Amino acid sequence: MDRRKGAVFIGALLILAIIGVGMILVVKTMMENTVKAAVQPFEQANQTVQTKVAEFMNPTPTVIPDPVTIIQEVRSLARLETIQYSVEKVITAEIGQNELGFLFGDRLLFVGHGVVIGGIDLEKMMPEDLWIEGTIVYVRLPEPEVFIAALDNEKSYVYDRETGLLTKGDVNLEKTAREAAENEILKAAVDDGILDLARQNAENYLGRLLRGLGFGDVVFVKE
Distances in Å between the Cα of 54 and the Cα atoms of 16, 40, 43, 57 are 55, 21, 16, 5
Would strands 130-133 and 157-163 be described as parallel, antiparallel, or unpaired?
unpaired
Question: Could you tell me the pTM of the whole model?
Answer: 0.67
Task: For residue 34, give its domain range.
Answer: 1-61
The verdict on 108 and 174 lying in the same domain is yes
- Which strand (E) or helix (H) includes residue 59? none
* Partners of 206 in beta bridges: none
Whether 70 is in a domain gets the answer no
> What whole-number distance in Å separates Cα of residue 170 and Cα of residue 164?
11
> What whole-number distance in Å separates Cα of residue 117 and Cα of residue 85?
6
pLDDT digits (tens, 9 = 90+) for 144-167: 999 999 999 999 999 998 888 887
The verdict on 147 and 42 lying in the same domain is no
Whether 155 is in a domain gets the answer yes
The domain total for the chain is: 2
Whether 142 is in a domain gets the answer yes
Count the Cβ atoms, other than its own, within 10 Å of residue 158: 15
Question: Helices 173-191 and 194-212: crossing angle, nearest 10°?
Answer: 60
The verdict on 126 and 22 lying in the same domain is no
The answer to whether 146 and 121 are in contact (CB under 8 A) is no
The verdict on 52 and 132 lying in the same domain is no
The verdict on 6 and 94 lying in the same domain is no
The verdict on 42 and 84 lying in the same domain is no
The verdict on 154 and 200 lying in the same domain is yes
**pLDDT range class, residue 45, cuts 50, 70, 90:** low
Whether 95 is in a domain gets the answer yes
The verdict on 162 and 117 lying in the same domain is yes
Whether 6 is in a domain gets the answer yes
**pLDDT range class, residue 142, cuts 50, 70, 90:** very high
Is 152 strand, coil or helix? coil
pLDDT digits (tens, 9 = 90+) for 194-222: 999 999 999 999 999 999 988 889 999 98
